[in-house]
């Protein structure tokens, strides 16, 4: 019997999103909804040959993986997972497979929609006025208009480029910067290439669209936040560690900027976390890529990966 563990099934619906029975009668699938600590991971997962991970929800460093002696296959959603020690798995001969983006763009669309939901929520004070209204207060302050404002994009790749169309529809100017961005590429998308300094100084909303790497980790720090316009808004639907957490909490506490956040250094965000106690932040629980359409695509590909591995012909392998 092959034992498959599906982790971080927060909505308890992964069993609905793919045909797990197609794996065969010799495969037993167990779904785990609650996050686990490292010692719990080892105790719970020791009997499993296959792990299915939702990208970057649960950390699997070498110290944990080394104790999972039965492990033969790890499938992660996405084609990269910064929370998984892939090199250690390769050294043991454990197969690592991933999932690709839906050709129809289900995952991409969800992330962009969430980014715009955060922009609109901060511009129109949606969460603030909702709370005030429930407390019997009416129009506690004024919303601001997107028309005529500047959207700054930190990163103009596949996701960042999809921010430009809605911004233009709202009548916004769009500027962008990333380390390797060229003026030609920016112009192709309808954005203007600016310097890193200009990006932070000119943006009314600054939206992050970078992959987390050692180069991007901590890229937005105290100096960058201080360079933003007073009252500007930072939007992060990318990865939490791209922004210096303590610097962001300090900037929000002082009221220099506001923020719309969907990602955090550690997820799930703990109850009482400082980010939940500072003003000027709209917080979402990493919804950017978890639309039902995207989840069906991802888990469908997970099942394909497991079937291919069982047949001795693994597909979508990380690192080739």
For residue range 146-179, list pLDDT tens digits in order.
999 999 999 999 999 999 999 999 999 999 999 9
Q: Are residues 25 and 64 in the same domain?
A: yes
Q: Are residues 141 and 92 in the same domain?
A: no
Q: Are residues 250 and 182 in the same domain?
A: yes
Domain residue limits at 20:
2-98+291-310
Let me know if residue 316 belongs to a domain.
no
CA 44 to chain CA centroid, nearest Å: 26
Q: What is the mean pLDDT of residues 125-133?
A: 96
pLDDT of residue 289: 79
Let me know if residue 179 belongs to a domain.
yes
Q: Are residues 77 and 187 in the same domain?
A: no
Rounded to whole angstroms, what are the CA distances from 240 to 32, 62, 159, 211, 261?
A: 24, 22, 16, 11, 8
Q: What is the mean pLDDT of residues 268-295?
A: 91
- Contact (Cβ atoms closer than 8 angstroms) between residue 116 and residue 166: yes
What letter does residue 163 receive in the DSSP assignment? T
Which residue in 215, 89, 78, 230 sits closest to 159, CA to CA?
Answer: 78
Say yes or no to pLDDT of 248 above 60: yes
CATH of the domain at 63: 3.40.50.720
Query: How buried is residue 21: exposed, middle or buried, by Cβ count under 10 Å (0-12/13-18/19+)?
Result: exposed
How many angstroms separate the first and last alpha carbons of the chain?
28
- Looking only at the bridges linking them, the beta strands covering 95-97 and 73-76 are parallel
Q: Encode pLDDT of 15-35 as tens digits.
A: 999 999 999 999 999 999 999
pLDDT of residue 290: 82
Q: Are residues 200 and 240 in the same domain?
A: yes
Q: Are residues 154 and 44 in the same domain?
A: no
Rounded to whole angstroms, what are the CA distances from 121 to 1, 143, 144, 282, 283?
A: 49, 10, 11, 7, 10
Let me know if residue 41 belongs to a domain.
yes
Q: Are residues 72 and 138 in the same domain?
A: no
- Looking only at the bridges linking them, the beta strands covering 281-283 and 50-53 are unpaired
Rounded to whole angstroms, what are the CA distances from 160 to 83, 157, 270, 314?
A: 23, 5, 29, 32
- Contact (Cβ atoms closer than 8 angstroms) between residue 226 and residue 170: no
Q: Encode pLDDT of 182-225 as tens digits.
A: 999 999 999 999 999 999 999 999 999 999 889 999 999 999 99
Q: φ, ψ for residue 221 (rounded to 5)?
A: -115, -165
Let me know if residue 315 belongs to a domain.
no
Q: Are residues 188 and 297 in the same domain?
A: no
Measured CA to CA, the distance from residue 236 to residue 94 in angstroms comes to: 33
Q: Which residue has the tokens 């970057």?
A: 56
Active site residues: 239, 267, 286
Q: Are residues 184 and 201 in the same domain?
A: yes
Our count of domains for the chain comes to: 2
Sequence-separated (6 or more) residues with CB below 8 Å from residue 242: 208, 210, 212, 216, 217, 218, 219, 220, 236
Q: Are residues 117 and 264 in the same domain?
A: yes
Q: Are residues 278 and 204 in the same domain?
A: yes
Measured CA to CA, the distance from residue 157 to residue 154 in angstroms comes to: 10
Let me know if residue 320 belongs to a domain.
no
Which structure tokens are listed for 31?
């779904």
Say yes or no to pLDDT of 83 above 80: yes
Q: Are residues 90 and 209 in the same domain?
A: no
Q: How confident is the model at residue 238 (pLDDT cuts 50, 70, 90)?
A: very high
């Amino acid at each position: 019997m092959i034992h498959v563990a599906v982790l971080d099934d927060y909505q308890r619906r992964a069993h609905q999103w793919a045909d797990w029975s197609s794996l065969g009668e010799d495969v037993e699938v167990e779904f785990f909804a609650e996050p686990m600590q490292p010692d719990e991971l080892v105790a719970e997962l020791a009997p499993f040959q296959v792990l299915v991970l939702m990208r970057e929800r649960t950390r699997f460093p070498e110290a944990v993986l080394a104790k999972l002696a039965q492990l033969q296959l790890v499938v992660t959603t996405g084609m990269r997972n910064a929370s998984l020690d892939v090199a250690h798995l390769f050294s043991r001969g454990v197969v690592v497979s991933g999932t690709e983006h839906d050709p129809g763009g289900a995952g991409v669309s969800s992330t962009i929609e969430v980014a715009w939901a955060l922009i609109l929520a901060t511009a129109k004070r949606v969460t603030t006025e909702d709370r005030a209204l429930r407390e019997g207060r009416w129009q506690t302050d004024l919303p601001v208009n997107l028309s005529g404002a500047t959207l700054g994009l930190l990163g103009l790749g596949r996701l960042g480029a999809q921010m430009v169309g809605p911004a233009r529809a709202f009548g916004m100017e769009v500027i962008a910067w990333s380390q390797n961005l060229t003026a030609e590429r920016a112009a192709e998308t309808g954005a203007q290439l600016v310097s890193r300094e200009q990006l932070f100084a000119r943006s009314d909303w600054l939206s992050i669209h970078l992959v987390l790497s050692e180069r991007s980790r901590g890229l937005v720090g105290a100096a960058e936040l201080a360079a933003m316009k007073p009252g500007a808004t930072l939007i992060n639907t990318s990865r939490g560690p791209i922004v210096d957490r303590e610097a962001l909490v300090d900037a929000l506490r002082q009221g220099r900027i506001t923020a719309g956040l969907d990602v955090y250094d550690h997820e799930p965000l703990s109850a009482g976390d400082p980010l939940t106690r500072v003003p000027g932040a709209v917080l979402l629980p990493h919804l950017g890529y978890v639309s039902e359409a995207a989840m069906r695509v991802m888990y469908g590909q997970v099942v394909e990966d497991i079937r291919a591995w069982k047949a001795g012909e693994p597909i979508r392998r990380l690192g080739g």
